[in-house]
Amino acid sequence: MSEVAKGEFVVKLLPLSVEGQPEGSKLGRMSIDKTISGDLIATTQGQMLSAMTEVKGSAGYVAIEKVDGTLNGKKGTFVLQHTGSMNQGSPRLSVTVVPDSGTQELVGLAGQFNIIISGGKHSYEFKYTLPQPRAS
């Protein structure tokens, strides 16, 4: 059965070095740390790789972040995979649960984590599924 979790988060991005890149490279790397509240109460740690282009408003990024917390009362960890691009200012973003990355009460978790940015605040709508517990 599909569920929806909603809430807000605060994100902290810090630049990291990109090994083997010449001065002025358009490639970047950052750490991602989030504090998430609402139906998902968690912290995350991850890294992002990005590529800027010569065209204003065009870029791409990928990221992986491990989420550790409680989702609607169920404890565990899982991993989110980000794939994003900007095509001359038009954004496209997909953030999904890495298959089989759920632990503890989140084993079997699958879903799409939608990020919403409005008025300078970050919120989310997490559409997910968890397997039904087996009757004993």
pLDDT in tens, 44-70: 999 999 999 999 999 999 999 999 999
- The answer to whether the beta carbons of residues 37 and 69 sit under 8 Å apart is no
- Strand, coil or helix: 38: strand
Which residues, 6+ apart, have CB-to-CB distance to 94 below 8 Å?
Answer: 82, 83, 84, 112
**pTM reported for the whole predicted model:** 0.92
Domains and CATH numbers, the chain: 2-17+25-128 (2.40.350.10)
**pLDDT tens across 62-96, in order?**
999 999 999 999 999 999 999 999 999 898 999 99
pLDDT at residue 20 is higher than 90: no
pLDDT at residue 11 is higher than 90: yes
Q: What pLDDT score does 22 carry?
A: 78
Of 81 and 1, the structure prediction assigns the larger pLDDT to 81
What's the whole-number mean pLDDT along residues 7-26?
Answer: 90
